[in-house]
Structure 1
Amino acid sequence: MTAAADTALAARVRRLVQTMAPQPPADLADEHRLVEDLGFDSLRLMELTVVLERAFELPRQRPEDLVGIRRVGQVIALVAGASRGNDHG
């Protein structure tokens, strides 16, 4: 994946997170915490996972892969890593 593709992917993930956040800030930063800053609860986090899987055509994420994902930047890194694993050419 190129740097431009990484930047576009990160921007798209941020838009989806901000759209789904119960308490979206005006400017979303990678340091924002999903639960404490953005108001996500467990159900909303599951919904976010499904939306990201569909939007980026990712394989289904296992719960153990998601443990420790607490900030927007970690979500971006997870999606980017899964997208790289999904590239076939």
Structure 2
Amino acid sequence: MTAVRSFQRKLEVFKEDLQGECANFPTVKEVQGERDQTPFVDFVDKLIVNFSKRFDSFSFGQQLTLFIQNPFLITDMRGFTQEVKQLFRLG
């Protein structure tokens, strides 16, 4: 899940970059020159919306994410249990 969130953040950085200097897209800047970058910005914006629709329902709490990465990182079992109950509506 962290890879998906990281990619979503990267898309936001790319969108801002396309609206500005195109530092991450030198070829776009070279080919487009000073022309309007709006089609590229719109495409990246659609990707951001699409990823949000597909993956926002998979958002887990911090304790559960830690547990998935490494169960031994959980030190507060009460907090972890409460978070799991809330996420899965068990309690």
Q: Sort the TM-score into its range (normalised by shorter chain).
A: under 0.3
Scaled by the length of structure 1, the TM-score of the pair is 0.27
Q: Which entry has the higher C-alpha Rg, 1 or 2?
A: 2
More helix, by proportion: 2
Where relative contact order (Cα < 8 A, 6+ residues apart) is larger, the structure is: 1
